[in-house]
Amino acid sequence: MLLYGKAVICISVTKSTPDTIGYVNNDKSVDVVSAWSPPFDDFDEQKPTRKSKKKMFTATALVLVFVFTTFYANIGVYFNSKISDTTQIDEPTRQEVLQGIKDADLYVLDTSNILTHIHAHLAIIVQGRSVTIPVIGVDMRTLTAAPIHTHDTSGTLHIETDSTNSYAPNALDFIRLWNKGEDNLCLIFARDAKCKVTVSINNRPGVLTDAFEDGDRMVVRVSLPDKPVYV
């Protein structure tokens, strides 16, 4: 019965001071009950001045700036590390490029006399899982290149010929360049002598030795019927 006729209300004194909790009595008077609330006599003295408000605002702004810059700096470091993880390219050395050319029985491209330059896309899917196409066949520091090479891991093949070598390599040449001359996809990707290999170019059946045309998209699927398919 003590609280009968009273209602809890919040009085917002000013924007910069906290709310005061009180009770409205039946006679419309208000019992202020909040312990921390300053007595009304002292209220004017304790009311923040324009100067102190400005100080508080500056301090808050500085704290916020610090918090946000720290947060975003850390986010940046996080994402940069992620980006560098995924885009870090392990470029071959000139020696590795020359060895690959020898293994694949290709020729060293005369990069100062390029005759043709086309691009094709290669995707290799083993048991349903996409294989990363590595950066191989070119050393940009010395411009030593095989006539088929990659500059990134996107699957884009750069196929070039020069004025003295007209042979444009195919996907099988690329597989050999990549795998020390080996071109048995079952052994390379399935580690099994028996597997099923299907090749398509622009969604039509093809073979690995098909000559590429600019913009071709080749998909090579390697599957082992007896083993589980990844999804």
Which stretches of the chain bind Zn ion, using CB under 5 A?
158
Q: How far apart are CA 116 and CA 164, in angstroms?
A: 11
- C-beta closer to Zn ion: residue 120 or 219: 120
Residues 6+ apart with CB under 8 A from 216: 120, 121, 201, 202
- C-beta closer to Zn ion: residue 158 or 176: 158
124 by Cβ neighbours in 10 Å (0-12 / 13-18 / 19+) ranks as buried
**Nearest approach, Cβ of residue 91 and Zn ion (Å):** 15
- Around Cβ 13, how many Cβ atoms within 10 Å? 14
Q: How far apart are CA 83 and CA 103, in angstroms?
A: 33
Q: How far apart are CA 190 and CA 131, in angstroms?
A: 11
- C-beta closer to Zn ion: residue 140 or 229: 140
- C-beta closer to Zn ion: residue 80 or 142: 142
- C-beta closer to Zn ion: residue 6 or 91: 91
Q: How far is CA 22 from CA 13, 27, 90, 200, in A?
A: 12, 14, 70, 79
- C-beta closer to Zn ion: residue 126 or 136: 136
**Nearest approach, Cβ of residue 89 and Zn ion (Å):** 15
**Nearest approach, Cβ of residue 198 and Zn ion (Å):** 27
**Nearest approach, Cβ of residue 222 and Zn ion (Å):** 26
- Tell me the angle at which helices 171-178 and 94-103 cross, rounded to the nearest 10 degrees: 120
**Nearest approach, Cβ of residue 158 and Zn ion (Å):** 3
The distance in angstroms from the start CA to the end CA of the chain is: 69
- C-beta closer to Zn ion: residue 116 or 198: 116
Q: How far apart are CA 212 and CA 218, in angstroms?
A: 9
Tell me the residue nearest to Zn ion as measured from the CB. Answer: 158
Query: Which residue's entry shows tokens 């019992």?
Result: 31
Residues 6+ apart with CB under 8 A from 124: 130, 131, 133, 189, 220, 222
**Nearest approach, Cβ of residue 212 and Zn ion (Å):** 12
**Nearest approach, Cβ of residue 117 and Zn ion (Å):** 6
